[in-house]
Amino acid sequence: MTEPFGTRLRAAMDARGPLCAGIDPHVGLLTAWGLDDTVDGLRRFALGAAEALAPTVAAIKPQSAFFERFGSAGVAVLEETITVCREAGSLVVLDVKRGDIGSTAQAYADAYLDQRSPIAVDAITASPYLGFGSLDPMIETARRNDAGVFVLALTSNPEGPEFQHATKPDGRMVAASVLDSLRAANAGADPLGSFGAVVGATIAEPVPELDINGPLLVPGIGAQGGTADDVRRLFGDVLHQVLPSSSREILGAGPDPAALAAAAEQAAASFAALGAR
C-alpha cells in the first residue's frame, strides 16, 4: 500500500458509495442461510458474503469473534475472507476491538496492521479505555504501514454512557477526550485522516464535536434500529466523513449473491443521497 488509509478510504467512498458491509457469521445467520454451525458452514457463509459484497462496497468489516470461536480453523477462514475482499478491491476493517498496553499492544498491532502479517488488514477497531496513550503502538504501526485504526468513542449499547459520558477532572466527557486525541492524530491530513472514531447511529445526547478530520465508522444501521435520518440528525456537517456500517440487514438478504449485492447497493445509495460521501 502506497497511500495512507484515509486517502484510500476517501477514494473508495467516492467511487463506491459510503458503506461498510459487515460479515458477522453468527449461528442465527448461518441457520437462515441453510448452513450448519461448523467450520464448513462458516467458510461457505463468509466467502459467499465476501464474493458478493467486496466488488461493490467501500469497505468490509468482518467480526473476528465469530471466526475465532471455531479456533485455528476459523481464523484460517478469516484469513481467506480477508484475502478475497482485498483482491476484489474492498478495504477491510477488522472488528477486533483490541486494547492493551506495551508489548501486548504492539503484538496486536503487528498481527493486524503490519502488512507482512498473514492476517493483515487495512484497519482495525480498538478500545481506548486503558488510556488513549495505550494505543500508541497501534497508531504508530498503522502510520508505518499506511493502515488505519477506528477507536471506540460513542457506542450505541446502553452500557456505553457509563464510561463514555463520564467527565474528567477538567470537565470534559471521556468520549470528547477520545475525539480530541483522534483530531490531534489526524492533524494536517488531506483529504481524510487515517484514525477514525466509532460512533453509533443511535447514541444518546449530549454529542460532542465530531469533526476529527478522519472517518467516523457508524454501526447500528438497519437491524439495530439506526436509520439514514438518524445519521443526518447526529452528524450534520460531518456527513462526508461518515462510513455507515450495516451487517445483519444486508446479510439477511442472502445467500443469493445478487440479492446481497442489491441490498448493499441500496444501503449505500440511501447514504449517498444524504451527502455522506
* Strands (DSSP E) found in the chain: 20-23, 59-62, 91-98, 123-126, 148-154, 195-199, 216-218, 242-246
CB 277 within 8 A of CB 75: no
Q: All 3 cell numbers of residue 112?
A: 493486524
CB 191 within 8 A of CB 139: no
Collapse the DSSP code of 217 into the 3-class scheme (helix H, G, I; strand E, B; otherwise coil) and give the result: strand
d(Cα 78, Cα 82) in Å, to the nearest integer? Answer: 6
Short-list 267, 264, 276, 275, CA closest to 23? 264
d(Cα 95, Cα 277) in Å, to the nearest integer? Answer: 22
Our answer to whether residue 97 is catalytic in this structure is yes
Short-list 272, 223, 266, 209, CA closest to 243? 272
- Which of 51, 76, 79, 97 does the annotation list as catalytic? 97
d(Cα 241, Cα 153) in Å, to the nearest integer? Answer: 15
Catalogue the active-site residues: 97
